[in-house]
Structure formats: C-alpha cells, structure tokens
C-alpha cells in the first residue's frame, strides 16, 4: 500500500474515533446514573441489616461466651474442692477460690446486661442461688479440713454436694444457652434474608448494565475490527525495520516490507519469497488444522539461521510472517551445548556425556564395559613444566587414542573427565575379554614416544574397568567400581589394566585408612631405616649400603616398604618421607664414619615424584650440610622410568646433583625405555640390574642374556654395575662369570638395623686388620 493511501486511511479513522468517543461518553453517563441508584438502594437495605445484626453482635454472642466461661467456672469449683481435699493447701485454695468468685461475678454481670427477657432473668436468679450454695459448700469444706479432728464422712458428704451443685449449675447454663442460641439463630436468619435482598438487587442492576454494555460493545467491536485491519495494512509493514511478510489465505505472498527486501539483498537470494522455508506450506496447514494462532520455527537459508514466527489472522484467514536473523545466537547456543557435553581442551565428550551414554547402554540390556584411564606419572609434568605444557600433553594423548573410537572392530566412545583421567565406553561386548583386548590396544598405542615442544616423553595408562551388568547396574556403581580397579592398577605400579573384583572395595577402604595414617607417620616417629649391604664380588668387601625405610604401624607392626611406598608415591606423602629418609641416612653414614668404620657409600632411593620435585637438589644439599657427610659418600638411586619420562628435565636434574658431588645410579635398569643415546647423556656412576632378571637367570636364558647385556653395556660406558635380588650361590656364580662388580640381596644379607650393620663393618675391619 502506498504511503499516501496510508495517510488517507488514518484521517478516516480519526473521524470514526470522534464519533465513537461521543457514544462512549453517553454510555458512561448512563452507567453512572444506574450506579448511583444502585448505591442508594444498597445503603437502605444495609441499614435494615444492621438493625437486625446489632443485637446479635452486641448481646447474643457476648452472652454465649459468658455462659461458656461460667460453665467452666462451675467445673473449676468442683476441681479446687478436690484439690483442697488432696493437698490441704488452704493458702492455694483461698487464692483460687477468690479468683473463681471474681471471675463468676464478672461473667454474671455481663449476662445481666445481655439477657433482658423475663424468662431469662428468672433463670439467672436461680443460677445465682446455686452459685451462692456452691460458695457456702466450698467454705464449709475449708473449715472442716482445717479442724483439728477431720470428719471424713462429713468431708465426703460435702464433696458430694459440691459435685451435685456443679452438675446443677451446668444443666441450668445449658438451658440458658439454648434460649440464647434460639434468639441468635432467629436474628441470623433475618440478617441473611436482608443480605439476600441486597444480592438480588445488585444482581438485577448488574445484569442490566451488562446487557447494555453487550449491545454497545457489539457495535464497538465491529468498528474496532475495521480500524485494526486498516491500521495494520496502513502502518505495520512500512514502519517495521525487521522483515515482515503478509501471506493471503492460500499462502501466496501478498506483501513484503522494506526490511524483508533488505534481508533478501543482504543474503543474496532472489527476492523476499526466497527467504521463506520449503516447509512453509506444512506450517500453514498446521495453523489451519489446529486452530492455533502462531507457529515458531528456525531454519537455514544461505548459510544463515533464520527464526520465523507465523501469525494467523482469525478474522481474515491470512497470515503475517515475522523473520529475524539469529545466526549468532544459534551459534552461541550450539557452542554452549557443545561445551556442556565436551571437554574444552581436548574436544572429547566429557563426564556428563559419558554418564548419559552409560545410562543409555544400560537401558539397552546388553553386556558392556566402562573403562577409566589415568596417565601414569602425569603430575610430575605439571609440577616441573607447568599447566600449559601439561595441557599440550593431554591434547597429544587425546589425539593418540581418539582414532580407536572410529575403529570398525569394536564400538567405542572415548571421553575425558579432568586432569589426566580419560574414559571409554564399550556399549556392547560379547565377553569381558574384549575389554581386556581393548585395554591392550590402548597400551600399544601409548608405547611410542610423544614429542612435545621438542621433548621426547613416554606415557602409559593405568586402566580400571567394570563390566555391566555383572559389576554394576547403575551409572554410579559402575564408575565407582571402575575407579576402584583403576586405583588398584595404579598401586600395582601402573602401565596395566585391571577388572573390578568385589574384594577390591575392601582393599580400597583399607588403603584409604593406610594413606591417612601414613601422612602422620613422620610426625609420630613411626618410620625406621634398615640398611642392606652392597658387596664387591671380587673382594667380598661391603662397599655400601642401601637405606630402606619401614613403617612401624601401631596396630599392624613393621610394614615393609613394598606395602606402603606405592601409596605414599600416589598420595604425595613420599616427598616428606623421602626427605626424612635422606636426612637420617646421611646422618647415619656420618655417624659410622665418625667412629672410624671403613668408608662406604650410602645409597638412597629417589621416587619418581621426588625426582620431579624442583626442590629436591636443595633438600639433598641441606641433608649433606646438616649431617656433614661428604657428597661422594651419598649415592642417589633414580628409577629408569622416572629418568626416561622426560629426558630433558632428567638430564638437567641429574647434572644438578653431580654439581653437588653426589654419586648417581640408575635403578631397575632394563625395565623401561632406555636407549644408548639417552643413557650416554646421563651423568651417572652406576647401573643396577633389576631383580626381575636376576631372580630367574639360572633357569631362563632370556633373563640371563639381559643381565649379561646390561653388565656389558655398563662396563662399555665406564659404569659400575650392581645386581640386586641375589639370593642363591647360583646367582652369584653367574654374575661373577658375567663380570658384575657388586651384588645386593639376601644371599649376603637381609636389610638390617643400623647397629647390626655397624657390627658387620667392625667385623670386616677386624678381619682386614688381621690380614694386614
């Protein structure tokens, strides 16, 4: 519609509005007159209601309350008589009797004011006589009980008369209540009748007003519909900056405002009609069929998201369409939904999504498995290299294992919870062995090194899994049991997968108690050191000792390190325990030196978490200075796994130790990822052949070959080689043949207290003195 035509419509509507205003004022005046008349008639009838209701409120209701209270007073008289008889407390009786008389007199005065008819007055006189009799009986009872010789028979007779008096009073009061209630009901009926007259009057006048309003309202509505339609056509499209499209009853385009034309131009589509969805026809059919007034949808046009709101005009059957570009809002909403169910760092689904998928898998009724995967030795990365570097490590791990979820060999969903914890769901498996096989595949994928910012690092997973429905029938139970299995895998040293077993829960509880007790072990002085000699094979001389910590538990006795060191390592208590061991071992070595014993090396184990502690070099220096032990008499044993976890950081830490002058040894050699290229960079003095190879080397040619190779490798690098776990003479012969330098194990000596080691050293000194 042209704008000039719109103005013409507006002028015509102004004249119509003026005529309607005149009619409105006429209707208002008529309504005002009828309202005034109704108010006067209502006032007249209300006065009639008050004439009937005032006696009801002023006399009848107070009288009923007074009678009720007097009945209570009558019963109270009998009660205080019984109380006087039981207690003979005359002082209490006197006060209560006086209060009863005061209360009775007050209520009788109120009845005198309320009851004016002769019959009621006569009944009041009879009640006063009964009350006076009751007072006399109470006074007589008081006198009788106060006499020096109480006549029990007379007392009983008085109590009986008091009870009869109370009963007669109550009965008379009931008669009086009946009379007052009858009079009150008559006045109530009269009041209701007059109120009904008022209601009928108001209803009649209201009906007349409504009828008049309905007649005039009909004409008003007809005019207003025409006004609304013309104003909508004249003003709505042109002035609305947003896209607005009018469709006729059949759904054909009748009008598009300038906002719709601008949007079509901006999106590069052919005219406003191209802004409408292909599903428009079905939406219009739904509006016609369901008799609803509005439909709202979202759809995509030219890579943008449009929101459409379709309004059906009931009077004409036509439609108004409102469009808006909600691309940014839709994108933000999609992002919020993604973040709600995904880990922002790795883009993997998060714990909430994992729990939802477990619930869906449980509903399916199939056998499946829930796996929790924790990256081993991850916390040292955070402690030494920072959170930003650790985040890149986590992304690298996620990229490494994510392809497993897309493998056609097994249905799988991979998720990340938080920190180093990942999760996998196998919604359908044939047997528990398939979960084991999947865990083995993850282990194989993690075997290759990670290159992060030029650093070569190795990571493995501790994996715990639970099979449903055998190991749990709800989400919480499955996650709890999988986590119990995961903690078992961690305690076993990591780099392995364990399935949940029922006895794990009991062991987990025991371990939790142990962990809490262990945190106070240093403070309570419950730790002890034992020392296992390290012997030169060629000379038989004790060249050194390894300090091994034990825990003197107050309930369980002496606990070996193998039972609590893994717990301390995982909980972080190992840092404090390690510092204690370091200081006490250095002090003991210095003490032996001070008494003139042969010089020896004190070997102290450094755990992976200790090795990652940037404060460790300072702690070592502090222990040396405090004890006065020469640095060359201290040997720090670092496990191969801890050294190879982050080679660059390990090299820097080992060089820091060498700067202090201490000796360095690689413990458990042959069990990790070491290579000659990295081993050459480590400033170490000794290699220790792991006892797992020594134990069976006289029976297993492979173990013997590994032990011989490690010894040869160590010598080629100019290192001393020591073998641990030597328990038999056969072990000793083989190691001597391989050229091993030193041995450590039960064949020579178990770990011993300091005083026993001192005796051994003194004996060795004596033998050498005799030989000299």
Residue 417, pLDDT above cutoff 70: yes
Confidence of residue 591 (pLDDT cuts 50, 70, 90): very high
Contacts of 750 (CB under 8 A, 6+ apart): 532
Residues 541 and 604 in one domain: yes
Residues 640 and 541 in one domain: yes
Burial (Cβ within 10 Å: 0-12, 13-18, ≥19) of residue 718: exposed
Residues 143 and 262 in one domain: no
Average pLDDT (544-559) is: 90
| Domain endpoint, select from 202, 229, 256 | 229
Residues 406 and 489 in one domain: yes
Residue 6, pLDDT above cutoff 60: no
Residue bearing the bigger pLDDT, 96 or 574: 574
Residues 360 and 297 in one domain: no
Confidence of residue 28 (pLDDT cuts 50, 70, 90): low
3-state secondary structure of 314: coil
pLDDT of residue 236: 58
Estimate the crossing angle of helix 118-146 against helix 152-239, to 10 degrees. 130
Average of per-residue pLDDT values in the chain: 83
pLDDT of residue 314: 75
Residues 441 and 357 in one domain: yes
pLDDT of residue 747: 93
CB 712 within 8 A of CB 737: no
Confidence of residue 5 (pLDDT cuts 50, 70, 90): very low
Domain containing 439 equals 342-501
Query: 311: domain CATH number?
Result: 3.30.450.20
Least confident of 29-43, 237-251, 312-326, 736-750: 29-43
If one counts the domains in the chain, the total is: 4
Is residue 506 included in any domain, yes or no? no
Name the one residue in this structure whose structure tokens are 């009061």. 173
For residues 687 and 664, give the distance between their C-alpha atoms in angstroms, rounded to a whole number: 9
The 3-state secondary structure of 426-480 reads: ECCCCCHHHHHHHHHHHHHHCCCCEEECCEEECCCEEEEEEEECCCCCCHHHHHH
Residue 145, pLDDT above cutoff 60: yes
Residues 9 and 156 in one domain: yes
pLDDT of residue 20: 61
Residue 407, pLDDT above cutoff 80: no
Residues 599 and 483 in one domain: no
Burial (Cβ within 10 Å: 0-12, 13-18, ≥19) of residue 387: exposed
Least confident of 119-123, 484-488, 619-623: 119-123
CB 498 within 8 A of CB 488: yes
Residues 493 and 360 in one domain: yes
Residue 2, pLDDT above cutoff 60: no
pLDDT of residue 379: 84
Burial (Cβ within 10 Å: 0-12, 13-18, ≥19) of residue 197: middle
pLDDT of residue 671: 59
* pTM (2 d.p.): 0.46
Residue 514, pLDDT above cutoff 90: no
pLDDT of residue 734: 93
Give residue-wise pLDDT tens across range 431-473: 888 889 899 999 999 988 899 888 888 889 999 999 999 999 9
Average pLDDT (137-154) is: 78
Give residue-wise pLDDT tens across range 53-102: 666 666 667 777 777 777 777 777 778 777 777 777 777 878 888 888 78
Residues 486 and 522 in one domain: no
pLDDT of residue 505: 66
pLDDT of residue 231: 62
């Amino acid at each position: 519609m042209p704008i000039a035509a719109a103005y013409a419509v507006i002028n015509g509507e102004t004249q119509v509005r003026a005529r309607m205003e005149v009619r409105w004022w006429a209707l208002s005046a008529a309504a005002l007159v009828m309202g005034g008349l109704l108010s006067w008639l209502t006032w007249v009838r209300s006065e009639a209601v008050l004439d009937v209701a005032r006696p009801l409120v002023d006399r009848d209701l107070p009288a009923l309350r007074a009678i009720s209270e007097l009945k209570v007073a009558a019963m109270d008289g009998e009660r205080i008589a019984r109380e006087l008889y039981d207690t003979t407390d005359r002082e209490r009786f006197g006060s209560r009797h006086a209060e009863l008389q005061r209360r009775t007199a007050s209520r009788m005065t109120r009845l005198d004011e309320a009851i004016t008819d002769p019959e009621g007055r006569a009944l009041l006189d009879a009640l006063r006589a009964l009350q006076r009799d009751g007072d006399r009986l109470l006074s007589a009872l008081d006198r009788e009980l106060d006499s020096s010789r109480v006549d029990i028979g007379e007392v009983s007779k008085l109590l009986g008369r008091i009870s009869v008096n109370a009963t007669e009073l109550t009965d008379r009061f009931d008669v009086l209540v009946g009379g007052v209630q009858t009079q009150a009901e008559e006045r109530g009926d009269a009041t209701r009748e007059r109120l009904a007259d008022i209601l009928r009057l108001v209803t009649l006048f209201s009906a007349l007003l409504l009828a008049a309003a309905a007649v005039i309202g009909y004409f008003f509505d007809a005019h207003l519909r025409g006004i609304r339609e013309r104003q909508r056509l004249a003003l709505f499209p042109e002035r609305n900056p947003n896209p607005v499209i009018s469709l006729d009853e059949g759904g054909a385009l009748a009008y598009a405002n300038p906002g719709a034309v601008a949007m079509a131009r901006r999106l590069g589509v052919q005219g406003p009609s191209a802004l409408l969805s292909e599903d428009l026809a079905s939406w219009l059919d739904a509006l016609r069929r369901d008799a609803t007034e509005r439909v709202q949808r979202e759809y995509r046009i030219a890579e943008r998201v449009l929101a459409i709101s379709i309004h059906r005009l009931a009077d004409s059957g036509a439609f108004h369409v409102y469009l808006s570009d909600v691309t940014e809002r839709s994108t933000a909403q999609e992002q919020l939904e993604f973040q709600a169910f995904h880990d922002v760092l790795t883009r993997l689904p998060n714990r909430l999504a994992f729990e939802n998928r477990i619930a869906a898998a449980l509903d399916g009724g199939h056998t499946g498995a829930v796996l929790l995967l924790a990256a081993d030795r991850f916390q040292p990365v955070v402690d030494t290299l920072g959170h930003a570097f650790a985040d890149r490590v986590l992304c690298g791990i996620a990229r490494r294992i994510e392809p497993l979820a897309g493998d056609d060999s097994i249905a799988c969903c991979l998720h990340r919870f938080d920190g180093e914890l990942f999760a996998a769901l196998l919604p359908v498996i044939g047997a528990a062995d398939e979960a084991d096989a999947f865990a083995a595949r993850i282990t194989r994928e993690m075997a290759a090194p990670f290159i992060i910012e030029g650093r070569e690092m190795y990571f493995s997973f501790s994996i715990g899994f639970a099979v449903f429905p055998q190991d749990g029938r709800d989400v919480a139970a499955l996650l709890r049991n999988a986590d119990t299995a995961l903690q078992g895998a961690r305690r076993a040293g990591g780099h392995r997968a364990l399935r949940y077993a029922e006895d794990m829960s009991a062991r987990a509880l025991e371990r939790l108690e142990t962990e809490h007790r262990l945190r106070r072990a240093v403070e309570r002085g419950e730790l002890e050191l034992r020392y296992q000699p390290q012997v030169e094979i060629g000379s038989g001389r004790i060249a050194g000792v390894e300090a091994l910590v034990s825990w003197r538990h107050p309930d369980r006795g002496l606990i070996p390190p193998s039972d609590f060191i893994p717990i301390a390592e995982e909980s972080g208590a190992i840092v404090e325990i390690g510092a204690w061991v370091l200081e006490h071992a250095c002090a003991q070595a210095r003490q032996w030196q001070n008494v003139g014993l042969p010089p020896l090396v004190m070997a102290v184990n450094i755990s992976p978490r200790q090795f990652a502690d940037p404060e460790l070099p300072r702690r070592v220096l502090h222990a040396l200075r405090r004890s006065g032990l020469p640095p060359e008499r201290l040997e720090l044993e670092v496990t191969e796994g801890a050294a190879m976890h982050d080679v660059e950081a390990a090299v820097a830490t080992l060089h820091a130790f060498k700067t202090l002058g201490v000796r360095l040894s690689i413990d458990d050699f042959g069990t990790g990822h070491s290579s000659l290229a990295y081993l050459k960079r480590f400033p170490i003095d000794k290699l220790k052949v792991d006892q797992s190879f020594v134990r069976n080397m006289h029976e297993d040619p492979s173990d013997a070959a590994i032990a011989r190779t490690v010894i040869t490798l160590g010598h080629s690098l100019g290192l001393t080689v020591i073998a641990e776990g030597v328990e038999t003479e056969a072990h000793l012969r083989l190691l001597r043949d391989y050229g091993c330098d030193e041995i450590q194990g039960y064949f020579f000596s178990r770990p011993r207290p300091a005083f026993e080691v001192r005796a051994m050293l003194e004996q060795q000194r004596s033998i050498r003195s005799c030989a000299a």
